[in-house]
Amino acid sequence: MDEIARCELIVGGQRSGKSYRAELLSGQWLTDNTHRAVMLATAYAWDAEMRDRIIRHQSDRALRLPTMQTVEEPINIGSAINLHSTEKTLIVVDCLTLWLTNLLMPLNVDDTLSEEEVVLAIEALSLAIKHAPGPVVLVSNEIGLGVIPMGEGVRAFVDTQGRLNQQIARVCDRVTLMVAGLPMRLK
């Protein structure tokens, strides 16, 4: 396993092994009993399948990483990084794609952010990553590798996701692409 980077962005397709790599890095970090790990979970349980998926992820993670703390933070992850990061605490954000979905397509339509507000949220996240005293591992989907989607809204989401990944990649020391469970270092 690689040495823990100050900041690592893990990108890849669905079920490519992104979260598993983040957990492996967390487990490596936690071998020092003075270290802590905090998972910032961004998912909302908006339907029964998603609720079941979240419960399954929580129970699986509790078995693999029993000392990792989970904090559910679907919106304010920059603030959550600022709050929980210390020199001896590794932060895992899983995942940026769900976070962006929460910003662009909130459960309550009155909470919809403008394009400018989304840009500011991404900037706040970038600053939190830059100033975090401890390591940060971020998981994000790479959704721009397929066909151009039908529909203006979906194309706008894919574009914004691509810009988010690029901006976070610029502030991270390491960027890893996961393909079929295999890590490919990009940076």
How much is the average pLDDT of 149-162?
Answer: 88
Judging by beta carbons within 10 Å of its beta carbon (0-12, 13-18, 19+), is residue 140 exposed, middle or buried?
buried
Residue from 35, 57, 84, 131 carrying the catalytic annotation: 57
Q: What is the pLDDT of residue 180?
A: 96
Contact 35, 29 (CB under 8 A): yes
Asked if pLDDT for residue 160 goes beyond 80, the answer is: yes
Domain ranges of the chain: 7-185
Predicted confidence band at 113 (pLDDT cuts at 50, 70, 90)?
confident
Asked if pLDDT for residue 82 goes beyond 90, the answer is: yes
Name the more confident of 14 and 172: 172
Q: What is the pLDDT of residue 150?
A: 82
Contact 126, 167 (CB under 8 A): yes
Asked if pLDDT for residue 166 goes beyond 90, the answer is: yes
pLDDT tens digits, one per residue of 131-152: 999 999 999 999 988 777 788 8
Contact 94, 42 (CB under 8 A): yes
Contact 45, 102 (CB under 8 A): no
CA-based radius of gyration for the chain: 16
CATH classification code of 7-185: 3.40.50.300
Active-site annotation holds for 57: yes
pLDDT tens digits, one per residue of 58-73: 899 989 999 999 999 9
Asked if pLDDT for residue 10 goes beyond 90, the answer is: yes
How much is the average pLDDT of 12-38?
Answer: 95
